[in-house]
Amino acid sequence: MSAQENEIGVSRSSFIEWNFGIARIPEIENFPMPGTSVLWGRTTIYPNNFIFEYEGGFAFPTVITGKVGIGKKFNDTNITFGVRPFPFHLYAQSSFPAGKKGYWIGSVEFNPLNSTNSLFGSKAILNFGYRWNLTMRK
């Protein structure tokens, strides 16, 4: 994962991410609703391999979306847990070893709240995506 490191060992990287997945929406007979998103994000990894990550962008069918999470880096894999504020979900996410241009991610999301009569009221999301590394300027 392409990153820029400062003098105290904090590594920051930015990315563009494209996701695709399916959501379980109880209001439409649990039909698996497809969706997609394109987001910009930033990952910060501290010397103890603690991760702070955020991202935001455009999505279908919700128009906008984003995520904020924390986690841990294990060798070439990042494991994060966090919240998607809209549509609201808690998530667990894993990255896969990086290639030359970026890396794959997968996440499982769950909405613990009762969703009522909303197209965006999904109960769960299974999501896969690809992150392209962005080169940061000093």
pLDDT tens, position by position, 1-53 = 446 666 578 999 999 999 999 988 777 776 788 999 999 999 999 999 999 99
CA angle 85, 50, 46 (to 5 degrees): 115
The residues with which 104 forms a beta bridge, in sequence order, are: 130
Mean pLDDT of the chain: 88
110-126 pLDDT tens trace: 998 865 545 567 889 99
C-beta of residue 69 within 8 angstroms of C-beta of residue 90? no
Radius of gyration in angstroms for the set of CA atoms belonging to the chain, rounded to a whole number:
16
Percent of the chain with pLDDT over 90: 66
Q: Tens digits of per-residue pLDDT, 91-115?
A: 999 999 988 899 999 999 999 886 5
**Are 35 and 11 in contact, with CB atoms under 8 Å apart?**
no
Q: Give the integer Cα–Cα distance in Å for 109 and 122.
A: 10
The contacts of residue 65 (CB under 8 Å, 6+ apart) are 37, 39, 56, 57, 58, 59, 84, 86, 87
- Percent over 70 (pLDDT), the chain: 86
Task: Write the pLDDT tens digit of every residue in 53-87.
Answer: 999 999 998 899 999 999 999 998 999 999 999 88
| pTM for this entry | 0.85
Alpha helices in 36-76 (DSSP H): none
